[in-house]
Amino acid sequence: MNDSTMNRNHTEDTHERGVALIVVILVMSFLLIIGLVLVTVTTTGTRVAGNVRGQQLAFNAAEAGFDATWKSIQNSFLNDLWSTFNGHYVTEPIGIDDPISDVYFRKLTDLELLNYIDGNGDGIADVGNVIFCRERYVLDTLGNLDPRYTYTCFLIDDEAAGGLPDAGDVLLICIGTAGTGNTMSTTRLEIELVIELAGT
Check whether 11 has a pLDDT greater than 70: no
Q: Which of 147, 153, 149, 160 is nearest to 114 (CA)?
A: 153
- Residue 193 in 3-state DSSP? strand
CA atoms within 13 A on the CB side of 47: 7
Spell out the domain ranges in the chain.
Answer: 36-194
Confidence of residue 49 (pLDDT cuts 50, 70, 90): low
Tens digit of pLDDT for each residue in 57-66? 899 999 999 9
pLDDT tens across 160-171, in order? 767 777 778 899
